[in-house]
Amino acid sequence: MKRLMSAAVLVVLAAAPAASQDVKATLMNDFERQRANVLGMVDAMPESGLRTAPTDGVRDFAQQIEHVVSGNVNIVRSGVDRPVMIEGHSPEVYLNSKEDLKRFVNAGFDAVHEMIMAETATTLTADAELFGRATVERWQLIKTAYEHAVWTLGATVPYLRMQGASPPGYNLIPG
């Protein structure tokens, strides 16, 4: 019986790194698909529509895209959604230029990529604070960043339609 228990423990311990690699691969795939979806929305928006909003008092299109990126970076980094400064990127520039907005998007997703790649089996299952209101495992916190971005990006569809643009197809299929 002791041998059987020891063998079972070894199997679980050996599987942990593989499982964490699967989780990391899934997270990376999700965020890379999301990067492409965000860039597709930016590409679809006419340059003249970057600073438009469907009504007063809400973020304009470029600010919504900025919020996707900031949310991803900061929720993954700290469990809190707040504005983020990415070195070499100024809001006065990227909020007013499609090309600069796309560079900002890529820089943010590159930062998320680096943070996820730095995760280990231990850190992915470690406790993390989410919005100071809940304790979740780190992988769940990262998935929350992804979900937050999906909701935020989805809200930009009317922005595009108001500018006479069609949103690109949304890639839902992991690959």
Q: What is the pLDDT of residues 119-164, one digit of tens each?
A: 999 999 999 988 888 999 999 999 999 999 999 999 999 999 999 9
| 38-80 pLDDT tens trace | 999 999 999 999 999 999 999 999 999 999 999 999 999 888 7
Q: For residue 126, is it within any domain? A: yes
Cα radius of gyration rounded to whole Å, the chain: 19
What three-state secondary structure class fits 149? helix
Q: For residue 172, is it within any domain? A: no
Q: For residue 153, is it within any domain? A: yes
Q: For residue 121, is it within any domain? A: yes
Pairwise CA distance, residues 29 & 174, whole Å: 7
- Position 16 scores a pLDDT of 47
Beta strands in the chain (DSSP E): 127-130, 134-137
Q: For residue 16, is it within any domain? A: no
Q: For residue 14, is it within any domain? A: no
Q: What range does the domain containing 33 cover?
A: 21-162
| 7-35 pLDDT tens trace | 443 343 344 445 556 899 999 999 999 99
pTM of the model: 0.85
CATH code for the domain of 90:
1.20.120.450
Q: For residue 173, is it within any domain? A: no
Using CB atoms within 10 Å of the CB of residue 112, give its burial: 0 to 12 exposed, 13 to 18 middle, 19+ buried.
buried
Summary count for the chain: helices (H), strands (E): 7, 2
Q: For residue 34, is it within any domain? A: yes
Q: Domain tally for the chain? A: 1
